[in-house]
Structure 1
Amino acid sequence: MGTGRRGLITIAVTVVCAVTVLAAPGTAFASPTPAPTPSASSTAAPIPVTNKDLEAVRKKLDRLYHDASVATDAYNLAEDKSERQSAEIVALAQKIVKGKKKLAELKKRAGSAAAAQYRNGGLPDGAHLVLSDDPEEFLDGAGRVIQGERATKGLLGELNRTQQDLEQYAKDASAQWEKLEANRKDRAKAKKKIKKQIAAAEKLESELEAEEKERLAELERQAALRAQTEWLDSGILDAIDGEASAQGRKAVAYATAQLGKPYEWGAEGPDTFDCSGLTSQAWAAAGQPIPRTSQEQWKQLKRIAVEDMRPGDLIIYNDDASHVGMYVGDGAIVHAPRPGRTVTVAGAGSMPILAVVRPDI
Structure 2
Amino acid sequence: MGSGKRSLIAAAVTVVCAVTVLGAPGTAFASPGPTPNSSSSPSSSSSSATTSPDLTPAPSTDLEAVREKLDALYHDAAVATDAYNAAEEASKKQSAELVELAKKIVEGQQKLDELKDRAGAAARSQYRTGGLPDEAQLMLSDDPSEFLDGAGRVLQGHRATKGLIGELTRTQEDLEQYSQDASAQWQKLETNRKAKATAQKKIEKQIAAAEKLESQLAEKEKERLAQLQEQAAQKAQTAWLDTGILDEIKGKASVQGKQAIEYATAQIGKPYEWGAEGPGSFDCSGLTSEAWKSAGQAMPRTSQEQWKQLPHVAVADMRPGDLIIYFDDASHVALYVGDGSIIHAPRPGRTVTLAGAGTMPILGVVRPDA
Q: How far apart are 1:19 and its partner, in Å? A: 10
Distance 1:277 1:261, change over 3 A: same
Query: Which has the greater radius of gyration?
Result: 1
Counterparts of 1:185 and 1:208, CA distance in 2: 36
Question: What secondary structure is seen at the aligned counterpart in 2 of 1:195?
Answer: helix
**Paired residue for 2:360?**
351
TM-score, normalising length: structure 1: 0.86
1:223-246 CA-to-partner distances (Å, cap 9, x unmatched) read: 111211121122221121212121
What letter is aligned with 1:172?
D
What letter is aligned with 2:172?
Q
1:330 aligns with 2:335: no
What letter is aligned with 1:160?
T
Alignment gaps of 5+ in structure 1: 1-16, 36-46
What letter is aligned with 2:91?
S
**Paired residue for 2:21?**
none
Alignment gaps of 5+ in structure 2: 1-43
RMSD: 2.3
Distance 1:48 1:171, change over 3 A: closer
Counterparts of 1:351 and 1:285, CA distance in 2: 26
**Paired residue for 1:252?**
261
**Paired residue for 1:320?**
329
1:24-72 CA-to-partner distances (Å, cap 9, x unmatched) read: 6xx9x9x99x99xxxxxxxxxxx9712xx11111111101000000011
**Paired residue for 1:44?**
none
1:49 aligns with 2:76: no
- In the TM superposition, 1:102-141 aligns within 5 A as 102-141=111-150
- In the TM superposition, 1:11-160 aligns within 5 A as 21=48, 23=50, 49-50=60-61, 53-160=62-169
Q: Is the 8 A contact 1:20 1:64 kept in 2?
A: no
Counterparts of 1:274 and 1:342, CA distance in 2: 10
What letter is aligned with 1:49?
S
Q: How far apart are 1:20 and its partner, in Å? A: 5.7
Report the more deviating stretch, 325-334 or 216-225. 216-225
Counterparts of 2:186 and 2:49, CA distance in 1: 32
Counterparts of 1:22 and 1:211, CA distance in 2: 25
Identical residues among aligned pairs (%): 71
1:201 aligns with 2:210: yes
Q: Is the 8 A contact 2:45 2:72 kept in 1?
A: no
Match among 274, 282, 299 for residue 265 of structure 1: 274
Q: How far apart are 1:181 and its partner, in Å? A: 1.1
Count matched residues: 327
Q: How far apart are 1:150 and its partner, in Å? A: 1.1
**Paired residue for 2:369?**
360
**Paired residue for 1:41?**
none
Q: Is the 8 A contact 2:344 2:355 kept in 1?
A: yes
Counterparts of 2:46 and 2:141, CA distance in 1: 93
Q: Is the 8 A contact 2:49 2:73 kept in 1?
A: no
1:164 aligns with 2:173: yes
Q: How far apart are 1:308 and its partner, in Å? A: 1.6
